Amino acid sequence: MAGKIVQFGAGNIGRGFMGQLFHESGFEIVFVDVAESIVEEINRLGKYTISIVGKGAGKVSIDNIHSVNGKQGTLVSEEISDADLICTAVGANVLPRLASTIAQGLVLRYENDGGDLNILLCENLHDAASCLREAVAANLPESRRDDILACTGFVQAVVSRMVPVQGESNEAQEPLEVRVEAYKRLPIDALAIVGDFPIITGIEPVSNFEAHVERKLYTHNCAHAVLGYFGSDIGLKYGFEALRNQDINSHLKSVLSETGKALISKHGFDPDEHKAHVSDLLERFQNEYLGDTCRRLARDPIRKLASDDRLVGAARLCESQGVLPQTLAEVIAAALRYEDSDDPSACELQRLIRELGIDTAMKQVCGIQQDEALALLVKKAGIKTSKAAA
Protein backbone atom coordinates (compact mmCIF):
# COMPACT_ATOMS: atom_id res chain seq x y z
CA MET A 1 0.00 0.00 0.00
CA ALA A 2 1.06 3.59 -0.63
CA GLY A 3 0.56 4.79 2.96
CA LYS A 4 -2.12 6.45 5.08
CA ILE A 5 -4.17 9.63 4.69
CA VAL A 6 -6.25 11.24 7.43
CA GLN A 7 -9.39 12.76 5.91
CA PHE A 8 -11.22 15.27 8.12
CA GLY A 9 -14.83 15.32 6.96
CA ALA A 10 -16.65 12.25 5.61
CA GLY A 11 -19.30 14.12 3.66
CA ASN A 12 -19.92 14.63 -0.05
CA ILE A 13 -16.43 15.96 -0.82
CA GLY A 14 -14.45 13.95 1.73
CA ARG A 15 -16.14 10.66 0.95
CA GLY A 16 -17.39 11.39 -2.56
CA PHE A 17 -14.31 13.03 -4.07
CA MET A 18 -11.15 12.80 -2.00
CA GLY A 19 -11.93 9.26 -0.93
CA GLN A 20 -11.94 8.20 -4.57
CA LEU A 21 -8.65 9.91 -5.39
CA PHE A 22 -6.91 8.47 -2.33
CA HIS A 23 -8.31 4.98 -2.90
CA GLU A 24 -7.31 4.92 -6.57
CA SER A 25 -3.79 5.91 -5.49
CA GLY A 26 -3.52 2.96 -3.08
CA PHE A 27 -3.77 4.76 0.26
CA GLU A 28 -5.43 3.62 3.46
CA ILE A 29 -8.00 6.27 4.43
CA VAL A 30 -8.85 7.29 7.98
CA PHE A 31 -12.04 9.34 8.00
CA VAL A 32 -12.46 11.74 10.91
CA ASP A 33 -15.98 12.98 11.53
CA VAL A 34 -18.24 13.91 14.44
CA ALA A 35 -21.36 12.34 12.93
CA GLU A 36 -21.50 9.15 14.99
CA SER A 37 -23.77 7.33 12.55
CA ILE A 38 -21.27 7.82 9.70
CA VAL A 39 -18.29 6.85 11.87
CA GLU A 40 -20.04 3.69 13.04
CA GLU A 41 -21.19 2.74 9.53
CA ILE A 42 -17.70 3.17 8.04
CA ASN A 43 -16.22 0.95 10.74
CA ARG A 44 -19.02 -1.62 10.45
CA LEU A 45 -18.83 -1.98 6.67
CA GLY A 46 -15.17 -1.13 6.01
CA LYS A 47 -16.15 0.04 2.54
CA TYR A 48 -18.65 2.16 0.57
CA THR A 49 -19.67 2.88 -2.99
CA ILE A 50 -19.25 5.99 -5.12
CA SER A 51 -21.83 6.11 -7.92
CA ILE A 52 -20.76 8.14 -10.97
CA VAL A 53 -23.79 9.71 -12.65
CA GLY A 54 -24.13 11.08 -16.18
CA LYS A 55 -21.17 10.82 -18.54
CA GLY A 56 -18.80 8.05 -17.44
CA ALA A 57 -21.48 6.47 -15.23
CA GLY A 58 -20.39 3.53 -13.11
CA LYS A 59 -19.64 2.32 -9.61
CA VAL A 60 -16.41 2.68 -7.63
CA SER A 61 -15.95 0.60 -4.48
CA ILE A 62 -13.86 2.29 -1.79
CA ASP A 63 -12.24 0.01 0.80
CA ASN A 64 -9.21 -0.08 3.10
CA ILE A 65 -10.91 2.52 5.28
CA HIS A 66 -11.79 3.09 8.91
CA SER A 67 -13.08 6.05 10.89
CA VAL A 68 -12.38 7.89 14.13
CA ASN A 69 -14.79 10.17 15.93
CA GLY A 70 -13.44 13.72 15.78
CA LYS A 71 -14.32 14.17 19.46
CA GLN A 72 -11.70 11.56 20.38
CA GLY A 73 -8.76 13.95 20.08
CA THR A 74 -6.10 11.56 21.37
CA LEU A 75 -7.00 8.86 18.84
CA VAL A 76 -7.07 11.38 15.99
CA SER A 77 -3.69 12.76 17.05
CA GLU A 78 -2.20 9.27 16.95
CA GLU A 79 -3.50 8.79 13.40
CA ILE A 80 -1.93 12.11 12.37
CA SER A 81 1.41 11.23 13.90
CA ASP A 82 2.23 8.64 11.23
CA ALA A 83 0.09 9.85 8.30
CA ASP A 84 1.43 10.63 4.84
CA LEU A 85 -1.07 13.44 4.31
CA ILE A 86 -3.92 15.23 6.09
CA CYS A 87 -6.89 16.48 4.11
CA THR A 88 -9.81 18.64 5.24
CA ALA A 89 -13.28 19.01 3.73
CA VAL A 90 -15.34 20.23 6.67
CA GLY A 91 -16.58 23.70 5.75
CA ALA A 92 -15.28 27.16 6.60
CA ASN A 93 -17.10 27.39 9.93
CA VAL A 94 -15.80 24.07 11.19
CA LEU A 95 -12.20 24.41 10.01
CA PRO A 96 -10.86 26.36 13.04
CA ARG A 97 -12.21 23.66 15.36
CA LEU A 98 -9.71 21.18 13.93
CA ALA A 99 -6.72 23.25 15.01
CA SER A 100 -6.24 21.86 18.51
CA THR A 101 -6.41 18.22 17.42
CA ILE A 102 -4.16 18.78 14.43
CA ALA A 103 -1.66 20.61 16.64
CA GLN A 104 -1.59 17.69 19.09
CA GLY A 105 -0.94 15.30 16.23
CA LEU A 106 1.84 17.47 14.83
CA VAL A 107 3.53 17.65 18.25
CA LEU A 108 3.37 13.87 18.60
CA ARG A 109 4.71 13.48 15.06
CA TYR A 110 7.57 15.89 15.82
CA GLU A 111 8.47 13.98 18.97
CA ASN A 112 8.57 10.76 16.94
CA ASP A 113 10.70 12.35 14.17
CA GLY A 114 7.87 11.86 11.70
CA GLY A 115 9.21 14.36 9.19
CA ASP A 116 7.39 16.74 6.87
CA LEU A 117 3.61 16.64 6.54
CA ASN A 118 1.26 18.51 4.21
CA ILE A 119 -2.31 19.45 5.04
CA LEU A 120 -4.51 19.65 1.94
CA LEU A 121 -7.45 22.04 2.34
CA CYS A 122 -10.53 21.39 0.21
CA GLU A 123 -12.58 24.27 1.60
CA ASN A 124 -14.72 26.95 0.03
CA LEU A 125 -12.72 29.67 1.76
CA HIS A 126 -10.25 31.87 -0.08
CA ASP A 127 -7.72 32.10 2.76
CA ALA A 128 -8.33 28.65 4.26
CA ALA A 129 -4.62 27.82 4.40
CA SER A 130 -3.62 30.93 6.35
CA CYS A 131 -6.65 30.62 8.64
CA LEU A 132 -5.82 27.04 9.61
CA ARG A 133 -2.11 27.75 9.88
CA GLU A 134 -2.73 30.59 12.33
CA ALA A 135 -5.18 28.51 14.36
CA VAL A 136 -2.80 25.54 14.52
CA ALA A 137 0.13 27.80 15.45
CA ALA A 138 -1.85 29.20 18.37
CA ASN A 139 -2.26 25.66 19.71
CA LEU A 140 1.39 24.63 19.41
CA PRO A 141 3.84 24.95 22.34
CA GLU A 142 5.90 28.09 21.84
CA SER A 143 9.20 26.25 22.25
CA ARG A 144 8.45 23.99 19.26
CA ARG A 145 6.13 26.15 17.20
CA ASP A 146 8.55 27.41 14.57
CA ASP A 147 10.18 24.00 14.04
CA ILE A 148 6.84 22.23 13.63
CA LEU A 149 5.43 24.87 11.29
CA ALA A 150 8.60 24.71 9.18
CA CYS A 151 7.91 21.06 8.37
CA THR A 152 4.15 21.46 7.86
CA GLY A 153 2.61 22.56 4.58
CA PHE A 154 -0.85 24.16 4.43
CA VAL A 155 -1.86 23.54 0.84
CA GLN A 156 -5.09 24.83 -0.68
CA ALA A 157 -7.02 23.12 -3.46
CA VAL A 158 -9.59 24.26 -6.01
CA VAL A 159 -12.51 21.82 -5.79
CA SER A 160 -14.65 21.73 -8.92
CA ARG A 161 -16.31 18.31 -8.77
CA MET A 162 -20.10 18.78 -8.68
CA VAL A 163 -22.13 16.60 -6.34
CA PRO A 164 -25.88 16.14 -6.94
CA VAL A 165 -28.51 16.31 -4.26
CA GLN A 166 -28.17 12.97 -2.49
CA GLY A 167 -31.02 10.52 -2.01
CA GLU A 168 -33.03 11.48 -5.09
CA SER A 169 -32.05 8.49 -7.21
CA ASN A 170 -34.72 5.96 -8.14
CA GLU A 171 -32.31 3.23 -7.15
CA ALA A 172 -31.95 2.16 -3.54
CA GLN A 173 -28.66 3.52 -2.23
CA GLU A 174 -26.30 1.91 0.24
CA PRO A 175 -26.05 3.81 3.57
CA LEU A 176 -22.69 5.39 2.70
CA GLU A 177 -23.13 5.64 -1.06
CA VAL A 178 -22.35 9.01 -2.62
CA ARG A 179 -23.49 10.07 -6.10
CA VAL A 180 -21.03 12.32 -7.96
CA GLU A 181 -20.06 13.43 -11.45
CA ALA A 182 -17.03 11.87 -13.14
CA TYR A 183 -14.81 15.01 -13.13
CA LYS A 184 -11.83 14.52 -10.82
CA ARG A 185 -9.13 17.11 -11.49
CA LEU A 186 -7.86 18.94 -8.40
CA PRO A 187 -5.38 21.83 -8.81
CA ILE A 188 -3.41 22.53 -5.61
CA ASP A 189 -0.96 25.23 -4.57
CA ALA A 190 2.46 23.85 -5.48
CA LEU A 191 4.30 26.71 -3.76
CA ALA A 192 2.79 25.84 -0.37
CA ILE A 193 4.02 22.25 -0.37
CA VAL A 194 6.66 21.30 2.19
CA GLY A 195 8.93 18.40 1.30
CA ASP A 196 7.55 15.70 -0.97
CA PHE A 197 3.84 15.57 -1.76
CA PRO A 198 2.36 12.08 -2.30
CA ILE A 199 1.56 11.13 -5.89
CA ILE A 200 -2.23 11.04 -5.99
CA THR A 201 -4.56 10.49 -8.94
CA GLY A 202 -6.19 13.71 -10.14
CA ILE A 203 -4.13 16.08 -8.00
CA GLU A 204 -2.27 18.69 -10.05
CA PRO A 205 0.23 20.94 -8.23
CA VAL A 206 0.28 24.33 -10.00
CA SER A 207 2.61 27.24 -9.36
CA ASN A 208 0.09 29.87 -10.51
CA PHE A 209 -2.51 28.74 -7.99
CA GLU A 210 -4.26 32.10 -7.64
CA ALA A 211 -4.97 32.02 -11.37
CA HIS A 212 -6.83 28.74 -10.93
CA VAL A 213 -8.73 30.12 -7.94
CA GLU A 214 -9.89 33.08 -10.02
CA ARG A 215 -10.74 30.87 -12.98
CA LYS A 216 -12.97 28.70 -10.80
CA LEU A 217 -14.73 31.76 -9.34
CA TYR A 218 -15.12 33.73 -12.58
CA THR A 219 -15.88 30.77 -14.83
CA HIS A 220 -17.51 27.92 -12.90
CA ASN A 221 -19.18 29.89 -10.08
CA CYS A 222 -20.00 32.82 -12.34
CA ALA A 223 -21.62 30.54 -14.91
CA HIS A 224 -23.72 28.89 -12.22
CA ALA A 225 -24.94 32.33 -11.15
CA VAL A 226 -25.88 33.17 -14.74
CA LEU A 227 -28.03 30.03 -14.95
CA GLY A 228 -29.49 30.66 -11.50
CA TYR A 229 -30.56 34.27 -11.94
CA PHE A 230 -31.61 34.17 -15.60
CA GLY A 231 -33.32 30.82 -15.06
CA SER A 232 -35.22 32.19 -12.06
CA ASP A 233 -36.18 35.25 -14.10
CA ILE A 234 -38.29 33.07 -16.40
CA GLY A 235 -39.45 30.50 -13.87
CA LEU A 236 -37.22 27.55 -14.72
CA LYS A 237 -36.53 24.93 -12.05
CA TYR A 238 -33.20 23.39 -13.00
CA GLY A 239 -29.87 24.77 -14.12
CA PHE A 240 -29.68 22.36 -17.04
CA GLU A 241 -33.05 23.70 -18.24
CA ALA A 242 -31.64 27.23 -18.16
CA LEU A 243 -28.61 26.05 -20.12
CA ARG A 244 -30.92 24.67 -22.83
CA ASN A 245 -32.77 27.96 -23.16
CA GLN A 246 -31.42 29.60 -26.31
CA ASP A 247 -31.41 33.16 -24.94
CA ILE A 248 -29.83 32.20 -21.60
CA ASN A 249 -27.27 30.01 -23.33
CA SER A 250 -26.31 32.90 -25.57
CA HIS A 251 -25.92 35.21 -22.57
CA LEU A 252 -23.87 32.60 -20.71
CA LYS A 253 -21.45 32.21 -23.60
CA SER A 254 -21.13 36.00 -23.80
CA VAL A 255 -20.33 36.20 -20.08
CA LEU A 256 -17.74 33.44 -20.38
CA SER A 257 -16.22 35.23 -23.35
CA GLU A 258 -15.85 38.39 -21.24
CA THR A 259 -14.32 36.62 -18.25
CA GLY A 260 -12.23 34.38 -20.50
CA LYS A 261 -10.58 37.32 -22.25
CA ALA A 262 -9.83 38.92 -18.88
CA LEU A 263 -8.45 35.71 -17.30
CA ILE A 264 -6.23 35.01 -20.31
CA SER A 265 -4.98 38.60 -20.27
CA LYS A 266 -4.22 38.64 -16.54
CA HIS A 267 -2.94 35.13 -15.93
CA GLY A 268 -1.62 34.02 -19.30
CA PHE A 269 -3.82 30.95 -19.71
CA ASP A 270 -3.36 29.31 -23.08
CA PRO A 271 -6.43 30.40 -25.13
CA ASP A 272 -6.99 26.93 -26.59
CA GLU A 273 -6.67 25.29 -23.17
CA HIS A 274 -9.09 27.79 -21.63
CA LYS A 275 -11.55 27.25 -24.48
CA ALA A 276 -11.40 23.50 -23.84
CA HIS A 277 -11.86 24.12 -20.10
CA VAL A 278 -15.03 26.15 -20.74
CA SER A 279 -16.35 23.61 -23.25
CA ASP A 280 -15.87 20.81 -20.75
CA LEU A 281 -17.58 22.85 -18.04
CA LEU A 282 -20.64 23.52 -20.19
CA GLU A 283 -20.88 19.84 -21.05
CA ARG A 284 -20.79 18.98 -17.34
CA PHE A 285 -23.54 21.51 -16.62
CA GLN A 286 -25.83 19.53 -18.95
CA ASN A 287 -25.79 16.57 -16.57
CA GLU A 288 -29.43 16.19 -15.50
CA TYR A 289 -28.47 13.83 -12.67
CA LEU A 290 -26.80 16.70 -10.81
CA GLY A 291 -30.27 18.07 -10.05
CA ASP A 292 -28.95 21.60 -9.45
CA THR A 293 -31.91 23.95 -9.16
CA CYS A 294 -31.91 27.56 -10.28
CA ARG A 295 -33.00 28.40 -6.76
CA ARG A 296 -29.87 26.83 -5.27
CA LEU A 297 -27.64 28.47 -7.86
CA ALA A 298 -29.21 31.86 -7.11
CA ARG A 299 -29.54 31.65 -3.32
CA ASP A 300 -27.80 34.17 -1.06
CA PRO A 301 -27.58 36.98 -3.64
CA ILE A 302 -25.98 39.42 -1.19
CA ARG A 303 -22.94 37.15 -0.85
CA LYS A 304 -22.79 36.47 -4.58
CA LEU A 305 -23.02 40.20 -5.37
CA ALA A 306 -20.10 41.12 -3.10
CA SER A 307 -17.38 43.22 -4.70
CA ASP A 308 -14.91 40.33 -4.86
CA ASP A 309 -17.31 37.49 -5.62
CA ARG A 310 -18.39 35.75 -8.85
CA LEU A 311 -20.31 38.60 -10.52
CA VAL A 312 -19.05 42.01 -9.48
CA GLY A 313 -15.56 40.57 -8.95
CA ALA A 314 -15.69 39.20 -12.50
CA ALA A 315 -16.79 42.59 -13.82
CA ARG A 316 -13.92 44.30 -11.98
CA LEU A 317 -11.48 41.79 -13.44
CA CYS A 318 -12.79 42.60 -16.91
CA GLU A 319 -12.48 46.34 -16.32
CA SER A 320 -8.90 45.90 -15.10
CA GLN A 321 -8.01 44.09 -18.33
CA GLY A 322 -9.79 46.48 -20.68
CA VAL A 323 -12.77 44.17 -21.32
CA LEU A 324 -16.25 45.73 -21.24
CA PRO A 325 -18.45 43.71 -18.80
CA GLN A 326 -21.58 44.30 -20.85
CA THR A 327 -23.29 40.96 -20.30
CA LEU A 328 -21.95 40.61 -16.77
CA ALA A 329 -23.81 43.85 -15.97
CA GLU A 330 -27.02 42.17 -17.13
CA VAL A 331 -26.40 39.25 -14.76
CA ILE A 332 -25.71 41.66 -11.89
CA ALA A 333 -29.02 43.35 -12.65
CA ALA A 334 -30.80 39.98 -12.65
CA ALA A 335 -29.24 39.17 -9.27
CA LEU A 336 -30.36 42.54 -7.89
CA ARG A 337 -33.95 41.86 -8.89
CA TYR A 338 -33.93 38.25 -7.64
CA GLU A 339 -36.76 37.46 -5.24
CA ASP A 340 -37.35 34.39 -3.07
CA SER A 341 -39.50 34.68 0.05
CA ASP A 342 -37.73 31.64 1.57
CA ASP A 343 -34.25 33.09 1.08
CA PRO A 344 -33.35 35.57 3.89
CA SER A 345 -30.58 37.09 1.78
CA ALA A 346 -32.91 37.73 -1.17
CA CYS A 347 -35.51 39.28 1.15
CA GLU A 348 -32.88 41.51 2.75
CA LEU A 349 -31.59 42.59 -0.65
CA GLN A 350 -35.04 43.66 -1.79
CA ARG A 351 -35.59 45.51 1.48
CA LEU A 352 -32.35 47.43 0.99
CA ILE A 353 -33.34 48.38 -2.56
CA ARG A 354 -36.82 49.49 -1.46
CA GLU A 355 -35.64 51.51 1.53
CA LEU A 356 -32.30 52.88 0.34
CA GLY A 357 -32.81 53.09 -3.40
CA ILE A 358 -30.81 51.23 -5.98
CA ASP A 359 -27.76 53.51 -5.97
CA THR A 360 -27.16 53.22 -2.22
CA ALA A 361 -28.02 49.52 -2.23
CA MET A 362 -25.51 48.82 -5.02
CA LYS A 363 -22.85 50.76 -3.18
CA GLN A 364 -23.51 48.89 0.07
CA VAL A 365 -23.91 45.38 -1.36
CA CYS A 366 -21.71 45.47 -4.47
CA GLY A 367 -19.24 48.27 -3.85
CA ILE A 368 -20.44 49.94 -7.08
CA GLN A 369 -20.53 53.74 -7.00
CA GLN A 370 -23.57 55.35 -8.61
CA ASP A 371 -21.72 57.43 -11.20
CA GLU A 372 -19.24 54.83 -12.46
CA ALA A 373 -19.52 53.02 -15.77
CA LEU A 374 -20.49 49.66 -14.24
CA ALA A 375 -23.41 51.22 -12.35
CA LEU A 376 -24.71 52.76 -15.56
CA LEU A 377 -24.47 49.42 -17.38
CA VAL A 378 -26.30 47.61 -14.57
CA LYS A 379 -29.11 50.16 -14.36
CA LYS A 380 -29.47 50.18 -18.11
CA ALA A 381 -29.97 46.40 -18.00
CA GLY A 382 -32.98 46.85 -15.70
CA ILE A 383 -33.31 46.16 -11.98
CA LYS A 384 -36.82 47.14 -10.95
CA THR A 385 -39.21 44.34 -9.95
CA SER A 386 -42.80 44.31 -8.73
CA LYS A 387 -41.58 44.51 -5.15
CA ALA A 388 -38.48 46.62 -5.53
CA ALA A 389 -38.52 50.25 -6.41
CA ALA A 390 -35.39 51.80 -7.83
| pLDDT higher than threshold 60 for residue 172 | no
388 falls within a domain: no
Local confidence band at 126 (pLDDT 50, 70, 90 cut-offs): confident
Query: Domain count of the chain?
Result: 2
Residues 269 and 201 in one domain: no
User: Are 114 and 42 part of one and the same domain?
Assistant: yes
Residue 170 has what pLDDT? 44
CATH of the domain at 38: 3.40.50.720
User: Residue 307 domain-assigned?
Assistant: yes
Domain carrying residue 231: 210-381
Q: Measured between alpha carbons, how far is 338 from 349 in angstroms, rounded to an integer?
A: 9
What 369-378 contacts at long range (C-beta under 8 Å, 24+ apart), as own/partner pairs, is 373/319, 374/312, 374/315, 374/316, 374/319, 374/325, 374/329, 374/332, 377/325, 377/326, 377/329, 378/329, 378/332, 378/333, 378/336
Residues 279 and 192 in one domain: no
pTM of this structure: 0.90
Percent of the chain with pLDDT over 70: 96
CATH at 243: 1.10.1040.10
Q: Quick one: which H or E segment has residue 5?
A: strand 3-8
Q: 102 with 174, same domain?
A: yes
Whole-number pLDDT of residue 114:
87
The per-residue DSSP string of 100-159 comes to HHHHHHHHHHHHTT---EEEEE--S-TTHHHHHHHHHHHTS-HHHHHHHHHTEEEEEB--
Q: Say if residue 219 is in the same domain as residue 364.
A: yes
Task: Tell me the average pLDDT across 120-146.
Answer: 96
- Say yes or no: 336 and 258 in one domain: yes
Q: What is the pLDDT of residues 263-291, one digit of tens each?
A: 999 999 999 999 999 999 999 999 998 88
141 and 241 share a domain? Answer: no
Residue 2 has pLDDT above 90, yes or no: no
* Tally of residues, the chain: 390
* Claim to verify: residue 114 and residue 190 sit in the same structural domain: yes
Q: Do 255 and 193 lie in a common domain?
A: no
pLDDT of 390 above 50: no
